[in-house]
Structure 1
Amino acid sequence: MKAVCWHGAQDMRVDNVADPQILNPRDAIIKITSTAICGSDLHLYGGFMPGMQAGDIVGHEFMGEVVELGSAVTNLSIGNRVVVPFTIACGQCFFCDSGYHSLCDNSNPNAGIAEKMWGQSPSGLFGYTHILGGYAGGQAEYVRVPYADVGPMVVPESVSDEQALFLTDIFPTGYQAIAQCDMQPGDTVAIWGCGPVGQFAIASAKMLGAARVIAIDTVNERLDMAARQHGAETLNPRDVGNTLQIVEALRDMTAGRGPDICVDAVGLEAHGVGPEYWYDNIKQSLQMETARPIVLRQAIMACRKAGTVSIPGVYGGIADKIPIGALMNKALTIKTGQTHVQHYLKPLMDHVERGDIDPSFVITHRMRLDQAPEAYDMFQARRDNCIKVVMQP
């Protein structure tokens, strides 16, 4: 089969690889009908995530048709059209039973590596480093899905592929970023990063009753989408200045108090202006830190006292100069983590089926799987106003 494989920084190729096979009675084989490039895939493309090996099949946003089932999978049938969570969960451990599927104790066969880095291991993920299991991803013609009796969900006939596809990751990720913050009526939410996850965080904040949403990004096309699709207020840091000036601008927009909830939907490759950005950029390039935490610093400094900072953006290692004093003295709450997709699949699918939201609004480009190298390059460079690429085998 054809699959998109990582061969190093800035080097994605479409290779011919072996078809996946059933390895466990709880497996399923899915024929991919739609797959997408996630913003976090760009961290792999840029070479910022450790644990990748040449030839690894990437991709964790995918859906398709069930073509083969292990003997223990009784909830699915051959021919079902399914959406597959990017987090792999056994459904039986303490964390799965508690609804924390991205913290599954049993789905990462390389848990020992993750434990050395983070103290404990989260769940395995599709197509996202050997630290998180080394599982083959879904930017391919077929994929093996472990624990298929827990993860995949049958898509209603009334919901198209493009409406369902983002339930694999970015819609639940944006939703969880807001839902975990105990938002109150009248709250103001500031969201850094208006890429795909940020767009769904903005949409979710509106769905959950935010009085105001302030969208922050350096790319005007993304800000335009946030304003047009969701009625968000917008702020471009390039028009404002450094961290202190951005914090001041947000205070001015909130009568001096600051946003009630601040969301870092950017993660480890944040952009900024001035010495702060270049400090982080140089240290990251020299591997003296693994992240550019500019946005995280801004979110902590800008958030109102006793507010909540939510971090759906991906971080994998260490970062410098986090304002821990502000975090402690302002009594802030931090909410973060990979997404517990299985927990949110059914309620979010209900929203889509009722017409409350059409997730396909975020798609800007549709391409073939064999165009993946071009798609990655375009997405990273943000050429042609690229915000989200969907590919079909």
Structure 2
Amino acid sequence: MKAAVIHSPGVITCDTVDDPMIKESHDIILKVTSTAICGSDLHMYSGGIPQARPMVMGHEFMGIVEEVGQHITNLKVGDRVVVPFPISCGTCFFCQHDLPTACERSNPEHYGPEGGILTDKGGALFGYSDLYGGYDGGQAQYVRVPYAHIGPRKVPENLTDEQVLFLTDIFPTGYTGVMWGELKGGETVAIFGAGPVGSMAAKSAILYNAKKVIVIDTQQYRLDKIKALTGCDTILWEDADHAVQQIRDMTDGRGADLCIEAVGFEPDRDFIDRAKAVLNFEKGSIKVLGSLYECCKTWRNCFCSWCVSC
């Protein structure tokens, strides 16, 4: 089959690789009908998440069941399903407490309590390095889906792939950031990052009846796009102090009720910030997170939407 394979930072090629096979009784083989590129894939592409051996990329995909393991009873060949990006067993402590991304069983080689970038991890992810389980991803013609009695969801026939595909990752990521913020309606939400996750967070905040949604980004074209999609207010990031002051000016000096970080660990940084990161062996940056705390109203909440789901 054909698949998008990462070989080293900056090198992804379309290769011919072996078809996936059933390995465990709760596996399925999925024929991929739609897949997407996630912003988190850039972490592997840039080398921020290391990967020594070639691996099929992709954790946002859906398709048609091609083959089922002997203990799969909830799905059959021909079913059309969408697959969440975390791989979870459904029975461990964290899965039983609705925290499937912290699954204790899907990533046995690298599971641990620290949850660092390069140290102990939580549960596994499709196509996202050996640190996250070593499972090949769905930017391919076919993919093996483990624990398929837990993850995949059947798709109604009246919905197209384009209407469903965002349920694999970016919509629940943005939605969870808002949901955990416990909006009651009428609040102001500030979202840092106008990419796909930021867009989903903005739409979700509107669903939760936020009074005002403010999106901050370094690129005007992204702000223009998200404003057209949601009608939100926008701020072009020039520097941290300027962005924080604008948010305060828009909220009677009090700050936002809820702040969501939808940038990840690779924000725009100047030469000094990058040099400091190299000297300190830092893979990412908490630059944006600091601004969130500054512009959030006293006694309210900040959430990193990436951490919420990953």
Which stretches in structure 2 are left out of the alignment for 5+ residues? none
Contact persistence 1:280–1:291 (CA under 8 A): no
Amino acid at match of 1:297: G
Aligned to 1:338: 309
Amino acid of the structure 2 residue aligned with 1:83: V
Write out per-residue CA displacement over residues 85-107 of structure 1, whole angstroms, 9 at most, x where no aligned residue. Answer: 10001111121111111111111
Identity of matched residues, %: 45
- Compared with structure 1, are the counterparts of its residues 184 and 279 closer, same or farther at alpha carbon in structure 2 (3 Å cutoff)? farther
- In the alignment, the residues of structure 2 paired with residue 116 and residue 106 of structure 1 have an alpha-carbon distance, to the nearest angstrom, of 15
Q: Where does residue 40 of structure 1 map in the other structure?
A: 40
- Secondary structure of the corresponding residue to residue 222 of structure 2: helix
**Counterpart position of 2:89:** 90
- Look up the match of 2:287: 294
Three-state SS of the structure 2 residue aligned to 1:226 is helix
Is 1:191 aligned to residue 194 of structure 2? no
The 8 Å contact of residues 255 and 295 in structure 2, kept in 1 or not, is answered as: yes
1:252 aligns with 2:246: no
Provide the residue aligned with 2:25 in structure 1. 25
Question: For the residues of structure 2 that align with 1:210 and 1:199, how far apart are their CA atoms?
Answer: 14
Query: After superposition, where does 1:286-325 map in structure 2 within 5 Å?
Result: 288-313=281-306
Give SS of 1:111's match. Answer: coil
Q: Tell me the CA shift for residue 218 of structure 1.
A: 1.3
Is 1:280 aligned with 2:245? no
Give, in whole Å, the separation in 1 of the partners of 2:257 and 2:112: 37
Distance 1:32 1:160 in 2: 14
**Alignment match of 1:268 (pick from 240, 265, 290):** 265
Letter in 1 for 2:71: A
Deviations 1:40-63 (A, max 9, x none): 10111111113x123111100001
CA deviations 1:147-166 (Å, max 9, x no partner) are: 00000001101110011111
User: 1-side partners of 2:83 and 2:184: how far apart?
Assistant: 31
Q: Is contact 2:112-2:122 (8 Å) kept?
A: no
Matching residue's letter, 2:308 = G
Cα distance, 1:286 vs structure 2: 5.0
Greater helix percent: which structure? 1
Cα pair 2:125 2:135 within 8 Å, conserved: yes
Paired residues of 2:176 and 2:308 also in contact (CA < 8 A): no
Unmatched segments (≥5 aa) in structure 1 = 314-335, 340-393
For 2:111 and 2:146, locate their aligned partners in 1 and report how far apart those are by CA, in whole Å: 20
Deviations 1:269-316 (A, max 9, x none): 1115xxxx3332223345621112221111111111111111023xxx
Q: How does 1:138-217 map to 2 (within 5 A)?
A: 138-217=138-217
What is the aligned-residue RMSD (CA, Å)? 1.7
- The TM-score normalised by the length of structure 1 is 0.76
What is the identity, as a one-letter code, of the residue corresponding to 1:337?
A: V
1:6–1:53 contact (8 Å) kept in structure 2: no
Normalising by the residue count of structure 2, what TM-score does the alignment of the two structures yield?
0.95
Cα 1:3–1:169 change in 2 (3 A) is same
- The whole-number CA distance in structure 2 between the counterparts of 1:120 and 1:288 is 17
| Residues 95/145 of structure 1: CA separation in 2 closer, same or farther (3 Å cut) | same
Distance in 1 between residues matched to 2:3 and 2:120, nearest whole Å: 31
